[in-house]
Structures are given as C-alpha cells and as structure tokens.
Amino acid sequence: MSDDKLFEDGVIERIAGELRDAERPSAGFDARVMASVRGIARARQREHRERRRLWNRVSQPRTITVRPWSVGLAAAALLLCASLAGWGAHAFARMESAAPAAASGGSQRVQFVLVAPNAKKVAVAGDFNGWDAQHPAYQAVHRGGGVWSVTARVPVGHHRYSFVVDDSLWVADPTAPRVVDDDFGTTNSAIVVEPEIR
Amino acid sequence: MRGPRALAGALALALPLALSLALPVAAHAQATANTLSSRLDPTTRVAVQAIVDSARLAKLPTAPLIDKALEGAAKHSDGPNIVSAVRQLSVELGQSKRVLGGGASTAELQASATAMHAGVSSRDIALLRSAAGPHRRVTLPLAVMTDLIGRNVPVATASQVVVGLARAGAHDSDLSMFERNVRLDIERGADPSAAAQTRARGVMLRTAPRAGTRPPGNQ
C-alpha cells in the first residue's frame, strides 16, 4: 500500500487522532502515586536514622559496665591465644631448622668416631645441632686407646658437620665424604642420612 | 542497653581471633630472630635475617641459611664473612632449585648447592639429574661428587665419573663403596683422578648387567 493511498483513506488521520487523545487515569491514581512516593521517602528517612544511630553508637563516648569475671575471662582468652601463637611459632621454627627431618620424616642413630690420642675433649657440631659444640647429646666419650665416639640421632637428609677437639680445633671426619667448604677456613664432612626402611 | 553489650561481645570475640591470626606470623619471625640474635652481632643478624626473608619469599629452604650463619658464628668468623657466605649459599640454593626443579627435596638442594660451591656447573648437575632418572634422589651422588673434588679429583673428572655411574644404574650403596675405595686409594698415595676413574670402571662392570647396559671397554 502506497503513502498516497493511506492519506486518501484517512488511516493516518485516524491513528493520529487516537494518539492525540489524553490517557484518562483511573480514579484514585493520584492518591496511589503519592502514597508510593511518601512510602519511599519514609523508608529513606528510616535508613538515614539507622545509620545516624549506628554512627552515634560507635563514635560517642559511653560507659560500659563490665563484670570483673568477664575481664578475667577475656584476659585468659588473650593469654591462651598468645600461648598458642607462641607455641605454633616455636614449633614452626623448630620444623624450619630441622627441615630435612621434617621433609622426609624421622631421624637415624649415627655413630661418629674420631681417633685423637692427645685430645681431652671431643664433640660433634653440625647443621643437625645448630653447630653447637656444647650440645650435650653430641659429646664424644673416650673409649680407650685414643678412640672417641658418640652415637646420636641425626635427622634424615644431607648434613655438614665437623669434630671439635678441645673446644678449639675443628677436624673433618676422616672416614666421611668431604665438603669443599672453606667459607670459614675449615673443611667439613658430609653425611646423607636415609629414611629407615621398614 | 543491648547495643553496647553486643558491641563489647563482638569485640571480645574478634580481638582474640585477630590476635591468634596475627601473632603466629610475628612470633615466628621473632623466633628466627632470637635464634640468630643469640649467636650473631646485631648488624650481622639484620643482614642475615634479610637474606633469610628473601629466600622464604622465593620458596627456598631457609634452614640451610640459618645453619650457615650459625656455623660461621661457631667458628668465630667475622660478620661480613658470615653474611657473604649466607648470601652465596642463597644464590646457590636458587640455582639448584632451577636446575633440579620444584620437586627437589631440601637435602637435594643442599647437596646441589654444596656441589656448586665446590665448582660443579649447573649443566653437570642437570646432566646428573637426567642420568639418574626422574624417580631417584640425587643427594648421595652429589655428595660423592663433592667429596671427590675435595680429594683433588678435577671437577670435570668428578662430574663425568659420577654422571656415568648414575647413568649405569649404580645404587647409593655402590656409590658409598666407590667413595670409600677412592678415599682409601688416595690415602695410600694414588693419583686422585686415576683412582676415581679406575674405581668407577669397577662399579660399572658390576652394575652394567643390572642396568642392562654394556660396560665400558678396556680403558
């Protein structure tokens, strides 16, 4: 159908006429709209009042009455948390410094032997005891004839160690693999402790 | 009044929880610091702690670094020397991790770092890793390699011999015996390089049938 034909039939005019007629709202339409608007405004006011009340609660100084036993309870809870945290950290630090043992689980008894006829004291120091030559578990005992030995638990893993003779002389284990490690002027020995095969 | 009571209750619950989360981290750092501070002077301790913290961030084992610092202190080394040794070890551990991969154990990383310190190249450690196969730990082969170098076997010979033994399927027990025999030979006056090569041929002759490979010719 062409545009001229539509014009002639007055179709367009009829449509335009219907569109020109104003929409007549039903009775009470205005009242419903206003009630809805007032409802929204009241909800917003309520929300605002809640926010102000909450802010006043946290920002204004107030007196809080606390029962004496609840202070003790809170203090005990804090102490417990601190202890747990300290214990956790201590355990973590121990785990970290004995990483080879933790990684593969466990340790093995290892015998360390040094022939030192003129020694008065022999100890073993290594990364398994924090290089502590005074560690009580690693003090060698004179077995006679210049033979010193100690059997101690060593964590599973690769370790570097040395004998300490008379608290001053660092001596590599002559029967163990050597470590080319002259960072601190002395040669260390190496030991690889394997997990126990059950 | 309900509000303040609820607020106090929430605080009483939240505060210990927050503390229990925050304290272990702080306390752990404190524990490591305490271990170091009992043996090192403050300047050295701070420098070593910084290296340890960096290693932890890089997911490297930190225990060997702390042990290295403690070793230096036990041997009465000076602070700068201790820091330098710890830093060097940290670098070697990082290189070892790159060569051996993320699945390497702390013991393997330590053994590899020690071998690198003795002069073994990353390439030779990668060769050993490859020769040993994916399921075998290379801790002992690396310790034997380092030992040979410590007994004046040239680095190239030590690497070649141990890589060859690993490729031939030598077990850790074979390597332990090999190391002991080479040590005895050297103590009796043998040339270190000749002792290592000769004893390696002996091990290969024993392990070749086990590994299904032909032993090396009459060398």
* Residues B132 and B95 reside in one and the same domain: no
* Residues B127 and B96 reside in one and the same domain: no
Choose the final residue of a domain: B103, B137, B160.
B103
Judged against a pLDDT cut of 60, whether residue A172 lies above it is answered with yes
Distance from CA of A194 to the nearest CA of B (A): 10
Please tell me the distance from the alpha carbon of residue B180 to that of residue A173, in angstroms, as a whole number: 13
ipTM over 0.85: no
* Residues B96 and B12 reside in one and the same domain: yes
Rounded-to-10 torsion of CA B4, A79, B53, B38: 150
Task: State the pLDDT at residue B21.
Answer: 56
Task: State the pLDDT at residue A2.
Answer: 59
As a whole number, mean pLDDT of residues A173-185 equals 86
Q: pLDDT under 50 in chain B at which residues?
A: 215-219
Q: Of the candidates A173, A177, A140, A185, which has an alpha carbon nearest to the alpha carbon of residue A158?
A: A177
Distance from CA of A22 to the nearest CA of B (A): 56
Phi, psi for A110 (deg, rounded to 5): -125, 135
Residue B131: both structure tokens together: 């020769």
Task: State the pLDDT at residue B210.
Answer: 60
Q: Which has the higher per-residue pLDDT, A89 or A67? A: A67
* Residues B143 and B208 reside in one and the same domain: yes
* Residues B154 and B69 reside in one and the same domain: no
* Residues B123 and B81 reside in one and the same domain: no
The CATH code that applies to domain A103-193 is 2.60.40.10
B111 belongs to a structural domain: no
Q: Which has the higher per-residue pLDDT, A91 or B5? A: B5
What are the chain A neighbours of B35 within 8 Å (beta carbons)? 93, 97, 130
Please tell me the distance from the alpha carbon of residue B89 to that of residue B116, in angstroms, as a whole number: 9
Task: Check CB contact under 8 Å for B70 and A81.
Answer: no
Choose the final residue of a domain: B74, B103, B132.
B103
As a whole number, mean pLDDT of residues A3-31 equals 74
Please tell me the distance from the alpha carbon of residue B20 to that of residue A84, in angstroms, as a whole number: 8
Residue A74 is nearest to which of B12, B20, B172, comparing CB atoms?
B12
Task: State the pLDDT at residue A19.
Answer: 74
SS3 A108: strand
pTM of the complete model: 0.66
Residue B114 is nearest to which of A85, A98, A181, comparing CB atoms?
A181
Would you tell me how many other CB atoms lie within 10 Å of the CB of residue A126?
27
Confidence of residue A59 (pLDDT cuts 50, 70, 90): confident
Task: State the pLDDT at residue B62.
Answer: 94
Report the domain count for chain B. Answer: 2
Domain positions in chain A are 29-58, 67-97, 103-193
Choose the final residue of a domain: B103, B129, B144.
B103
pLDDT digits (tens, 9 = 90+) for A111-168: 999 999 999 999 999 999 999 999 999 999 999 999 999 999 999 988 999 999 999 9
Please tell me if residue A105 touches chain B, with a CB cutoff of 8 Å: no
Alpha-carbon distances of B145 from B90, B156, B173, B183, B184, rounded to whole Å? 21, 10, 15, 12, 16
Task: State the pLDDT at residue B198.
Answer: 96
Q: Are B205 and B166 in contact (CB under 8 A)?
A: no
Q: Which has the higher per-residue pLDDT, B90 or A74? A: B90
* Residues B82 and B178 reside in one and the same domain: no
Alpha-carbon distances of A111 from A12, A137, A171, A182, B187, rounded to whole Å? 111, 12, 16, 25, 22
Greatest distance between any 2 Cα atoms in chain A = 135
Task: State the pLDDT at residue A82.
Answer: 63
Please tell me the distance from the alpha carbon of residue B181 to that of residue B186, in angstroms, as a whole number: 9
Confidence of residue A25 (pLDDT cuts 50, 70, 90): low
Please tell me the distance from the alpha carbon of residue B99 to that of residue A162, in angstroms, as a whole number: 29
Task: Check CB contact under 8 Å for A104 and B144.
Answer: no
Task: Check CB contact under 8 Å for A178 and B108.
Answer: no
- The residue range of the domain holding B35 is 1-103
Confidence of residue A20 (pLDDT cuts 50, 70, 90): confident
Judged against a pLDDT cut of 80, whether residue A64 lies above it is answered with no
